[in-house]
Amino acid sequence: MGLGGGFLIVPLFVIVLNLPIHVAVGLSLASVAATAFSSFIIYALRRLVNFKLGLFLEASTVIGALISSNIAIYLKGEIIEVIFAVVLFYTAYKMFKHTPIHEDDPKMKSISSGRWILGSLGAFAAGFASGMLGIGGGLLKVPIMVLVLSTPMRTAIATSMFMISITAPTAASTYVLHGLVSPDLLLAGVIGAAAGAQAGSRVSLRTGTRILRKIFSLLLVVFAAMMLFKGLGLLS
């Protein structure tokens, strides 16, 4: 679905494996980085990545990721769990509703300086969410590039993967430096994410993305509720 997968990795680590949220976020960022990098290589070989645009937006994204990851380290786990639950509910809603982005939108005919500023601010928000919650941020980056910066959809997805491959390891380094990411779990997460990315790309060729989005949106609602209950102390 063109997403890093952190929205699913973090709740699985927290709820199923009972890992602390800070550990789960650090592991998720490392796993998302592996997924994004493997996808980015394929897109780059097909010359779909807009490196100039990606690097421009990544300047703001990295700053947001570094700021939020350093803030998250000192926040109580319960606070992050509640924030994550809210983001999951929003993600589930967007996935279930999912209105395709049309590249011939009349709003996309020109790019003013105001749009570049808006795009940069959006990239900062995506990076902030990524560093704090362990998600790739593609759900924000792709619409920003397509609707605000007049980028073709395929190029936006490819460029988003390029950006995530930089943002995720940068934010993950904060958690690694604080000793929150163990090598064995890191290896397992990276291998699992890479294998899942390969399997998912093949499944998507046989299954309509609309069906996949509906299934995942319902799954995310369940995870969001569980994360919210956990953050509020109603679930151990």
| pLDDT tens digits, 151-209 | 888 888 889 889 998 999 999 999 999 988 888 888 888 888 878 777 766 665 566 66
Query: How far apart are alpha carbons 118 and 217 in whole angstroms?
Result: 28
CB 139 within 8 A of CB 149: no
Q: 235 or 148: whose pLDDT is higher?
A: 148
| 110 vs 214, higher pLDDT | 214
Rg of the Cα trace of the chain?
17
* pLDDT score of 72: 93
pLDDT > 90: percent of the chain: 33
* Summary mean pLDDT of the chain: 84
Structure tokens at 27: 């592991």
Sorted by where each begins, the domain ranges of the chain are 6-231
Q: What's the confidence (pLDDT) of residue 109?
A: 52
Output the pLDDT for position 211. Answer: 73
- Determine the pLDDT at residue 99: 64
Q: CA dist 65 to 55, 213, 235, Å? A: 15, 27, 29
Q: Please say if the pLDDT value at position 1 is more than 80.
A: no
Residue with tokens 């399997």: 199
